[in-house]
Amino acid sequence: MARGRKPKPTKLKVLQGNPGKRKLNDNEPQPKSKPRGPYCPRWLDKDAKNEWRRIAKELKDIGLLTNVDTAVMAAYCQAYSRWKKAEDAIKKHGMVYKPNKDSNYIQQSPFVSISNKAQEQMRKFIVELGLSPSSRSKIEIPGGEYDGDNFDNFVNAK
């Protein structure tokens, strides 16, 4: 049985201006964003940490990343790293190989499957974190420009 669309977080609806004008969920848990954090987990590899640093501050500044979102963000960053490594291996070794030197049979490199799976995982996390271009196109910030201030400042802007 199909369940329909996943519900959109209330904070994201507020950022988008609630175009459907439906009643917002006043009882939705709203994790508080702390002045510092969420912190990048130490166990992430180098490429995953770099991706974390690249996007975490902006997500935190607009209220879409809090300490309770650490696992989702870490999983996205690790999938990104896995995808990057697989793409590097494809560049180095090619998309196909001969498993037997004496045969003309060629086989797809396992790195192609790894890359495809990592991209699939990334797409799912991108939707969860509001990172896709279509998600950004629906977010409206009062005054039309994001100045890096926190979520409360631009929600309460006059």
Sequential DSSP letters for 44-75: S-HHHHHHHHHHHHHHHHTT---GGGHHHHHH
Residue 119 within a domain: yes
122 belongs to a structural domain? yes
* Preceding peptide of 38 cis, ω within 30°: yes
Strand blocks (E) in the chain: 96-97, 107-108
- Of residues 147 and 57, more confidently modeled: 57
User: Is there a domain that residue 5 lies in?
Assistant: no
The reply to whether 140 falls in a domain is yes
Instruction: Please give the C-alpha separations between residue 61 and each of 94, 119, 131, in angstroms, as whole numbers.
Output: 41, 26, 14
Domain of 149 in residue numbering reads as 34-155
Confidence grade of residue 29 (pLDDT, cut at 50, 70, 90): low
The two tokens of residue 137 are 């196109």
In a domain, 54, yes or no: yes
User: pLDDT band at residue 65, thresholds of 50, 70 and 90?
Assistant: confident
Across 139-155, average pLDDT: 48
pLDDT of 119 reads 97
Range in 47-51, 91-95, 140-144 with the lowest mean pLDDT: 140-144
What pLDDT, on the 0 to 100 scale, is given for residue 21? 76
Beta bridge partners of 107: 97
Position 20 in a domain: no
In a domain, 27, yes or no: no
pLDDT above 90 for 42: yes
Domain count along the chain: 1
